[in-house]
Amino acid sequence: MRKKIVAGNWKMNTTCQEGMELAKAVVAKAGEVPANVGLIVAAPFTHLCCLSEVLEGTRVELSAQNCADHASGAYTGEVSVSMLKSVGCQWTILGHSERRQYYGETDEKLVVKTKLALEAGLGVILCVGENLDEREAGKHFDICKTQIENVLFNFTAEELKSIVIAYEPVWAIGTGKTATAAQAEEIHAFIRKVLADKFGAQVADDMTILYGGSCKPSNAAELFAQPDIDGGLIGGASLKADDFLAIAKAY
């Protein structure tokens, strides 16, 4: 049985104090979410140390939104995987489309970052997804396949156990325009097939694949009811504890 996960991606939102309040509000009602749904919050670097204290001993796990592509050294402004571990972080998001688009995150860099993260004992939420032009040109399957091949095919079946995929169509992120449940399911099933062809049916079957892109309380239940959608990576709606939890309760 693969893991169900609902992860909040706070992006560059909240001050540290606001983030602590938000995390406390999530923790306060986390018990209402079915026990088999993993809860993760991905906060800005500045918040992680304080948040790990708020989340300690709770069911809510802590994630970063990125990590450096070097282990340590003269890389001003970067944050390494060992630094993330040292503040109690359990996960990092990698390859979010905003990082691919604005910060030159390439698949090659993602291989390096994923390796470092796994070696440090961090779980990885790897984002893939096509933009609007690619969708309209009917290239969405190819784009997702290439992103998966370029990054995940460099890892072993054993390493894949620490990786979660998030399918996030770029045209649905922060736009209010959600992929329909059928559109999302079609790609999720396709991604699982790509994994099955390379790693075998069991590995593919065990892989958690999240949907992200304008997921909210009103559409979560329909998305999560799809056989290959194992939860969500939630941006805007994760900034309100009640909305985030309502999405997680949609299971």
Closest distance between ligand PGA and the C-beta of residue 74, in Å?
31
| Minimal distance, residue 201 CB to ligand PGA, in Å | 28
Distance CA 128, CA 96 (A): 7
Using CA atoms, how far apart are residues 88 and 109, in angstroms rounded to an integer? 24
39: burial class by Cβ within 10 Å (0-12, 13-18, 19+)?
buried
Residue 168 annotated as catalytic: yes
Tokens of 40: 């993760």
- Out of 98, 168, 185, 188, pick the active-site residue: 168
Q: Which is nearer to ligand PGA, 95 or 212 (CB)?
A: 212
Residue 87: CB atoms within 10 Å: 17
- Is 70 a known active-site residue? no
Residue with tokens 């958690």: 208
Residues that bind ligand PGA (CB under 6 A): 9, 168, 173-174, 212-215, 233-237
Residue placing its CB nearer to ligand PGA in the complex, 27 or 234: 234
Instruction: Name the catalytic one among 47, 61, 96, 140.
Output: 96
The residue (of 55 and 172) whose beta carbon lies closer to ligand PGA is: 172
Minimum separation from the CB atom of position 157 to ligand PGA (A)? 26
DSSP-based three-state secondary structure for 4: strand
Catalytic site positions: 96, 168
